[in-house]
Amino acid sequence: MLSLNHVTKKYGSFTALEDVSLDFSGGVYALLAPNGAGKTTLIKMLATLIFPTKGEILWNGDEIVALDATYRDIIGYLPQDFGYYKNHTPREFLLYMSALKCMNRDKAKRKTDELIETVGLADVRDQKMRKFSGGMIQRVGIAQAMLNDPKILILDEPTAGLDPKERVRFRNLISSLSKDRIVILSTHIVSDIETIASRVVLFKNRRLFASDSPASICRTLQGKIYETDDISSITSPYLPLTERQEGGKTVMRFASEHDCTHMARSVSPNLEDVFLYIYRDDAV
Ligand SMILES: Nc1ncnc2c1ncn2[C@@H]1O[C@H](COP(=O)(O)OP(=O)(O)OP(=O)(O)O)[C@@H](O)[C@H]1O
């Protein structure tokens, strides 16, 4: 198990994360928060690129910093800006990354071929990456993070810049890779994780706000979410959430602290409602 115990991270006098305690056991953990909430800071600490100012991060009871290379051997990491060589083919790039990870050549070749299949790049394994789409590049990124068959796979905003079809493909890939390992991914896009996250981790005001299953997180707004096509009635204190077109009318989803069944239809909360509700005062 990977555990954060009272972790605080400061950059000079600025506190990016404060007193975060959190356990990761198995499955997909989605760090969901608006930009600037500290997701990358947490991810970089988990990847041992930066260190907590206070508190400790433990892998099965041992500090990850003290474990050093032993810990790095069990993690796979895809950073936000994943640097690759445009003139490399996926195969060349993965073999190069295997060499950096000191893998023996036979194992590296075997693993490279296997991962190229897994991420669906077999047809282009020997083509230069300069013409690859964002989704294809991210799939190469996942493959390099998986070379050492990591127990912990850490992905920082893996779906940023992908088109809807690529996002779905990527989501399915992450889900298939999450068996028998911890996957920790950061995102500010709710639809990326609604179906694949076993746990959603929310931060607010630099602190941990919630860490629970998507269903439990959604239940926190049970009885507070409504829909109506009388959108002119949705003014303060109601909180407008989303709008959609239905049967030629605009239907608005909104949150209310009080019963509104006299004027609107009560609906089941979804993760997007929760996100918009929790971060209503933040710039998202
Ligand atoms: N090296 C640094 N020095 C000073 N402040 C920093 C540094 N890195 C991050 N910050 C600040 O810490 C806060 C959290 O940043 P972080 O990158 O962790 O957020 P994030 O949730 O990952 O957002 P994004 O999705 O935009 O990367 C931000 O206010 C950011 O400006």
Mutate to test the pocket of ligand 1, among 10, 15, 41, 189 (most ligand atoms within 8 A of CB): 41
**pLDDT above 60 for 283:** no
Mutate to test the pocket of ligand 1, among 39, 42, 156, 159 (most ligand atoms within 8 A of CB): 39
Q: Which atom of ligand 1 is nearest to the CA of 50?
A: 1
Q: Which two tokens stand for residue 245?
A: 């077109």
d(CA 275, CA 269): 11
Mutate to test the pocket of ligand 1, among 7, 9, 40 (most ligand atoms within 8 A of CB): 40
- The rounded Å distance from CA 15 to ligand 1 centre is 10
- Which DSSP letter does residue 226 get? E
Q: What was the pLDDT predicted at 134?
A: 86
- The rounded Å distance from CA 26 to ligand 1 centre is 27
| Confidence category of residue 173, pLDDT binned at 50, 70, 90 | confident
Are 240 and 234 spatial neighbours (Cβ–Cβ below 8 Å)? yes
Q: What was the pLDDT predicted at 77?
A: 95
Pocket of ligand 1 (CB under 6 A): 11, 14, 16, 33, 35-41, 157
**Cβ-proximal residues to 281 (8 Å cutoff; 6+ apart), any chain:** none
- Going from N- to C-terminal start, the domains of the chain cover 2-217, 223-267
Average pLDDT over residues 135-159: 92
Share of the chain above pLDDT 90, in %: 74
Q: Which two tokens stand for residue 101?
A: 């990870």
- The rounded Å distance from CA 207 to ligand 1 centre is 14
Amino acid in position 159? T
Q: Hey, whose CA ends up nearest to atom 4 of ligand 1?
A: 11
**pLDDT above 80 for 92:** yes
Q: Hey, whose CA ends up nearest to atom 9 of ligand 1?
A: 41
- Domain covering 2-217: architecture: 3-Layer(aba) Sandwich (3.40)
Task: List beta partners, residue 11.
Answer: 14
Q: What was the pLDDT predicted at 160?
A: 79
Are 148 and 76 spatial neighbours (Cβ–Cβ below 8 Å)? yes
Q: To the nearest whole number, what is the mean pLDDT of the chain?
A: 92
